[in-house]
Structure 1
């Protein structure tokens, strides 16, 4: 049995703060602008997926995947981001999900590295608005990654940035694609949310209120 953990690596959206609603509203606005309406159920399929991949899914959903050139698609993705950035201007420290900051303090005090592996290009901006920058040793966002989740690149990059061996890392996610990325990085996956969606994680919590380092250590110790 081993309890040695080099780093705990967090997703941002839905784990540290709930920006999912802002993403939904921004995509919905773009969808309306190009004549592709969609609902919250379809929006669930975009969770943890990069901006360009999300756009491709939306265009396919509306049967318009061949109506735009690559340059036009980049412009559409940029427009969605403009909508999103406008919405997140109002984020404050009050938008940190329950239990998160206390958990970050526990990790810091235990001398374990803290990193972020986010699909958002706005991860630094959002983390700063939340007042949590001092806790993170490194943040990897979509701007520095070639392949988006479920590819493990973003988690492997975060581990490397804090000199952590992937096998000694715990990844925390709320999206199915993110849990796949953690598993493929050969890290210990913790899912926050619906068991029916995140059943491939090694440990599942119903909400961030259950985040606790002792629980993590106990479950991690059983992994071998």
Structure 2
């Protein structure tokens, strides 16, 4: 039986992909950047530095710097998403079941710590998480395994004793490379058929409400 659960944030705790896209639309318009949507679709699950390098012109990166650009974009995101934020269906019930079963939980997100705190606070789920690992706490973001290795270690667990909940291909790869015992994918950002065809997730569901029972999710 798995003894810990590691949760991605964007697209997993909250179905916020469209909010991030709207924020990038506002952000890129400020700098006259076009053609960013197709590039962004290839970057789901990655850290801000990698996304900025992919989307923003080199001269803007030199003038403003990665950190400043990322902070500006994320401030836009939090402002526009705050009025509508809510947990993915079935999440709170799952978190309550995990706590009752003595399963410790951590967030493992490529997002910045401000966004992690924002989501947990606004969704009122912070009490369920014993550790919060964000992209600005690690050297390498997903698909590198560092985030999930760090999250498991923060709970005092081996990755093999953890079930990971993800929505993005980069995150699923990160969990696998970390040696996660089980990977559960949510079809919030990508269609079910894409996750089935292009990832090796053990379980796929539309939301947490569609997943099998806790005994199956935590089974060895």
Give the match's secondary structure for 1:139.
Answer: strand
**Unaligned segments of structure 2, at least 5 residues:** none
* Corresponding residue for residue 42 of structure 2: 45
* Corresponding residue for residue 108 of structure 2: 117
| CA shift digits 1:92-116 (9 cap, x unpaired) | 5xx1111111111111111111111
1:1-224 matched pairs, under 5 angstroms: 4-38=1-35, 41-59=38-56, 64-65=57-58, 68-69=61-62, 71-91=64-84, 95-121=86-112, 122-187=115-180, 188-193=182-187, 194-197=192-195, 199-211=199-211, 212-217=213-218, 220-221=219-220
Give the match's secondary structure for 1:172.
Answer: strand
Aligned pair in 2 of structure 1 residues 25, 162: CA closer, same or farther (>3 Å)? same
Q: Does the CA-based 8 Å contact 2:94-2:208 persist in structure 1?
A: no
Higher mean C-alpha deviation, range 170-179 or range 36-45: 36-45
Give the match's secondary structure for 2:164.
Answer: strand
RMSD: 1.9
State the shift of 1:51 in Å: 0.9
- Once residues 46 and 99 of structure 1 are traced to their aligned partners in structure 2, the CA distance between those partners, rounded to angstroms, is 26
**Unaligned segments of structure 1, at least 5 residues:** none
Higher mean C-alpha deviation, range 179-188 or range 198-207: 198-207
Higher mean C-alpha deviation, range 65-74 or range 201-210: 65-74
TM-score, normalization by structure 2? 0.87
Q: Does the CA-based 8 Å contact 1:119-1:148 persist in structure 2?
A: yes
State the shift of 1:202 in Å: 2.1
Q: Does the CA-based 8 Å contact 1:91-1:129 persist in structure 2?
A: no
State the shift of 1:90 in Å: 2.1
- Once residues 163 and 73 of structure 1 are traced to their aligned partners in structure 2, the CA distance between those partners, rounded to angstroms, is 33
Q: Does the CA-based 8 Å contact 1:55-1:77 persist in structure 2?
A: yes
Give the match's secondary structure for 1:8.
Answer: strand
Q: Does the CA-based 8 Å contact 1:145-1:154 persist in structure 2?
A: yes
- Once residues 124 and 68 of structure 1 are traced to their aligned partners in structure 2, the CA distance between those partners, rounded to angstroms, is 26
TM-score, normalization by structure 1? 0.85
